[in-house]
Amino acid sequence: MDETTLSLIQQKIGYQFVNPVLLKQAFVSPSLTDATQNRVQNYQILEFIGDAVLGLAVVKNLASEFCHVDANGQFVSSATEGQLSDEKSRLVKNEKLAHCSNLLEFDSYLERAHGYHLHDRKNKKGDLIESVLGAVAIDSNWNMDILSRVASELLRYDKMVENATEKLQNYCDTNGLDLPTYYFWNCGSRYDCAVSLQSVNGLFVGNGKTVEEAQNAAVESAYTYLTGQNVTKKKSVEQTGANILNSSKKSPTAVEILNLKYIKKEIVQPNYSFAQTAENGKLFWICTLTLNNNEYQVSGKATTRKKAKQAAAKAMLDLLEKSKQEEKSIQSRGIGLLKRAMILRKEAF
């Protein structure tokens, strides 16, 4: 870890280390310790310390916010013991710590042994929050004021609103699912996005006027499905016949099927272009769809861009199916002629 990275992390957590080596150790994976035969110490002991410190720091901060000593010298609280306990549990549970760690980009600083895969650490990102806090505890000589402040700085990321993509990433990460893959298509003034989830063999499609709108629509569909079905690594989900899943559970559209064929590398990326025409005083959209450098080209016409695009996609699927059947027919005739030739040759001898 270089000095620039160390400085960036210290800015994020609001604490300047006296001994920066401790901060480096907070981001050392156990795999690196194994690979160096214990010459490089990892974050595990700091995580152990940080786990205890985090609980105490959160309790101290909750007490400062909800409790005080009254005129009679009694310690009183505006919240019940149950409410304080629930809030403490919410703040220190691993899912929330993992979310904070994601927003702080802590995992990108983790030093791993060569060949150590990111997915080997699923559900462990929250450990880095605790290891950093443990490093601060040692470096500050257990200064409780400093620990409370740093804990608040780390946990303030919990209060940030997650966008749709972060929610999906965190759900997959927490529940042991493969992380999503994103695909984008520029369709003139609109965009399509497909989110592929290998864990459920699913494809979720969205569109919008911007890349962000298209991605959010696709991601929300995927997130709604996963949470509605309570999908985890331990609970498998039956895939649909077309391998396309969406929150509405409607049949896949022609555009979605073409996109899936592209993702599976059965075809090259579909290329859509649009034009308008007037007929009998009415405006129509014409969508031209090409594949393989114009080897396959079809058009669709409708009163809206979306319908024209779907019409073109449907025409392309029909054309691909027709070409497939013709190829099979040619192969079948070729095999038939070959068999006939072999029979005639056998008869000749």
pLDDT in tens, 153-197: 888 765 544 567 777 877 887 777 888 887 777 666 677 788 888
Give the residues across from 288 on adjacent strands.
273, 299
| Angle between helix 144-155 and 94-104 (nearest 10) | 80
Helices (H), 105-182: 126-139, 144-155, 164-174
| Structure confidence by residue, pLDDT tens digits, 43-89 | 999 999 999 999 999 999 889 888 999 999 999 998 888 888 988 88
Check pLDDT > 60 for residue 343: no
Q: Is the CB of residue 148 less than 8 Å from the CB of residue 13?
A: no
pTM comes to 0.47
Q: What does each C-alpha distance from 72 to 63, 68, 254, 294, 309 come to in angstroms?
A: 18, 11, 74, 86, 75
User: How many angstroms separate the CA atoms of 171 and 158, rounded?
Assistant: 15
Tokens 């620990």 correspond to 147
Higher pLDDT, 160 or 347: 347
Which of 257, 242, 157 shows the shortest CA–CA distance to 205? 257
Contact 207, 191 (CB under 8 A): yes
